[in-house]
């Protein structure tokens, strides 16, 4: 599906803020044309890694290359390959959409005649050409996000870095945004790297690197990661959260299954989940408030690899 040339290569990358290790020996590569996700809780290391990739933080230990360039030695060349959309808005709300992009184009030294053509092309690709002369402050959050991306692509980068692109957007806007990102990947031969803590957003990526406490705990396609959990997942809540450890031991001793306590719930992975659910309710129904049964999700992958839920890890 993808070319063999790495668009991004990270090797044994570590970074510390005084005595706090934000990244700890992280290694991965992103193939050209791939939509690659960095998934993890706030504080897991995503932001530090994103800043290093976008050349805002130096490499302390390890190596990072963007395309054929070393991030430490060839920052100017690296920046020419990158389009970056940060989580914090960068648009001037008192200017029109077109004026925001014109200002960006002037900063990059794009000739005036060519700049106008690129503005029209980018706004069309993101589905906001009809908003070109509207004030940014009058647009919805989803439309503003698309304008941000159109702005970051004016200089024709090979790689687009997106930091939490769906934060604050409603479900409909998220679907539209990702539809445009997939189309951009095809039209512009883009490589896209997305940093996110949202599971539904991560499902849109071709591959995911899951980060926790600065370490890479999983790396694969979303479907392969879910399959690695195996079987069904049961989540059990009890009338008395303080007695969960006792309930877990009782389930293990009577039914011979491994039970994991995660926060205020019990979690079980089992191939024949429906049969186990019936047995658990028959034996321990009086002690249980609710049981949910479902196929593994990325949330289950995170729990399996870290022993915490994504929200608890934050």
pLDDT in tens, 148-197: 999 999 999 999 999 999 888 888 888 999 999 999 999 999 999 999 99
Q: Identify the domain boundary among 209, 225, 241.
A: 225
As given in the structure block, the two tokens for residue 33 are: 């044309």
Residue 17: other Cβ atoms inside 10 A: 9
Report the range of poorest mean pLDDT among 4-8, 78-82, 116-120, 246-250.
4-8
Whether 36 and 117 share a structural domain: yes
Average pLDDT over residues 121-140: 95
* pLDDT confidence bin for 218, thresholds 50/70/90: very high
Q: How many helices (H) and strands (E) does the chain have?
A: 12, 14
Q: Do residues 268 and 300 make contact, with C-beta atoms less than 8 angstroms apart?
A: no
Total number of domains constituting the chain? 2
As given in the structure block, the two tokens for residue 305 are: 């690899």
Report the CATH number at residue 254. Answer: 3.30.70.920
Q: What integer pLDDT is reported at residue 286 of this predicted model?
A: 85
As given in the structure block, the two tokens for residue 237 are: 């809540």
Whether 242 and 135 share a structural domain: no
Residue 140: other Cβ atoms inside 10 A: 12
Q: With a cut of 80, say whether residue 312 has pLDDT above it.
A: no
Whether 221 and 249 share a structural domain: no
Does residue 303 sit within a domain? no
Whether 101 and 48 share a structural domain: yes
The DSSP code for 138 is G
Whether 146 and 269 share a structural domain: no
Q: With a cut of 50, say whether residue 1 has pLDDT above it.
A: no
User: Taking the alpha carbons of 86, 87, 91, 96 in that order, is the dihedral positive or negative?
Assistant: positive
Whether 151 and 275 share a structural domain: no
- Calpha distance 76→173 (Å, rounded): 34
Quick: pLDDT tens for 8-58.
999 999 999 998 999 999 999 999 999 999 999 988 999 999 999 999 999
Counting residues of the chain whose pLDDT is more than 90, the rounded percentage is: 67
Q: What integer pLDDT is reported at residue 210 of this predicted model?
A: 97
C-alpha distances in Å from residue 192, one per residue of 81, 106, 226: 12, 24, 22
Q: What integer pLDDT is reported at residue 314 of this predicted model?
A: 67
Whether 279 and 149 share a structural domain: no
Does residue 302 sit within a domain? no
Longest dimension (CA), the chain: 76
Distance of alpha carbon 250 from its chain centroid, rounded? Answer: 38
Q: With a cut of 90, say whether residue 272 has pLDDT above it.
A: no
Q: Do residues 233 and 294 make contact, with C-beta atoms less than 8 angstroms apart?
A: yes
Domain region containing 14: 6-225
Q: Report angle CA 187, 190, 195 to the nearest 5 degrees.
A: 130
Q: With a cut of 50, say whether residue 308 has pLDDT above it.
A: yes
Does residue 28 sit within a domain? yes
Q: DSSP characters for 158-203?
A: SEEEEESTTTT--HHHHHHHHHHHHHHHHHHT-EEEEEES-HHHHT
Does residue 312 sit within a domain? no
Whether 79 and 108 share a structural domain: yes
User: Taking the alpha carbons of 112, 118, 120, 126 in that order, is the dihedral positive or negative?
Assistant: negative
- Calpha distance 67→199 (Å, rounded): 28
* Residues sharing a CB contact under 8 Å with residue 150, sequence separation 6 or more, in sequence order: 101, 119, 122, 123, 125, 126, 128
Does residue 194 sit within a domain? yes
Does residue 153 sit within a domain? yes
Whether 110 and 199 share a structural domain: yes
Q: With a cut of 90, say whether residue 260 has pLDDT above it.
A: no
Dihedral over alpha carbons 33, 38, 39, 42 (to 10 degrees) = -150
- Per the prediction, the chain carries an average pLDDT of 92
Residue 98 belongs to what H/E stretch?
helix 97-107
SS3 263: coil
Q: Identify the domain boundary among 191, 225, 259.
A: 225
Q: With a cut of 60, say whether residue 3 has pLDDT above it.
A: no
Whether 268 and 151 share a structural domain: no
Does residue 38 sit within a domain? yes
Q: What integer pLDDT is reported at residue 313 of this predicted model?
A: 67
Whether 183 and 218 share a structural domain: yes
As given in the structure block, the two tokens for residue 50 are: 């994103």
The DSSP code for 293 is E
Report the CATH number at residue 63. Answer: 3.40.50.300
Q: With a cut of 80, say whether residue 6 has pLDDT above it.
A: yes
Does residue 84 sit within a domain? yes
Q: Do residues 30 and 6 make contact, with C-beta atoms less than 8 angstroms apart?
A: yes
Q: What integer pLDDT is reported at residue 229 of this predicted model?
A: 87
Whether 238 and 218 share a structural domain: no
Q: Identify the domain boundary among 205, 225, 245.
A: 225
């Amino acid at each position: 599906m993808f070319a063999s040339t790495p668009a991004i290569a990270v090797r044994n990358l570590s970074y510390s803020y005084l005595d706090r290790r934000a990244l700890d020996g992280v290694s991965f590569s992103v193939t050209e044309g791939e939509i690659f996700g960095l998934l993890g809780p706030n504080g897991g290391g995503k932001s530090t890694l994103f800043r290093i990739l976008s050349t805002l933080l130096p490499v302390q230990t390890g190596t990072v290359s963007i395309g054929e360039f070393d991030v430490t030695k060839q920052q100017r060349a690296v920046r020419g390959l990158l389009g970056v959309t940060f989580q914090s808005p960068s648009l001037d709300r008192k200017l029109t959409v077109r004026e925001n992009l014109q200002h960006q184009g002037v900063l990059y030294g794009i000739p005036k005649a060519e700049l106008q053509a690129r503005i029209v092309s980018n706004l069309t690709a993101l589905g906001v050409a009809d908003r070109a002369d509207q004030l940014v402050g009058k647009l919805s959050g989803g439309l503003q996000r698309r304008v941000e991306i159109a702005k970051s692509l004016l200089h024709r980068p090979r790689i687009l870095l997106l930091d939490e692109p769906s934060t604050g957007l409603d479900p409909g806007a998220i679907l539209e945004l990702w539809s445009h990102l997939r189309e951009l990947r095809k039209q512009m031969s883009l490589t896209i790297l997305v940093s996110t803590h949202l599971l539904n957003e991560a499902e849109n990526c071709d591959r995911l690197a899951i980060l926790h406490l600065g370490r890479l705990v999983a790396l694969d396609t979303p479907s392969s990661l879910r399959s690695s959990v195996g079987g069904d997942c049961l989540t059990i809540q009890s009338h008395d959260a303080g007695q969960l450890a006792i309930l877990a031991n009782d389930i293990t001793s009577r039914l011979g299954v491994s039970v994991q306590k995660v926060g205020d719930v019990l979690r079980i992975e089992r191939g024949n989940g429906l049969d186990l659910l019936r047995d658990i309710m028959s034996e321990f129904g009086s002690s249980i408030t609710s049981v949910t049964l479902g196929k593994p999700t990325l949330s289950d992958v995170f729990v399996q690899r870290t022993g915490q839920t994504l929200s608890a890890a934050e």
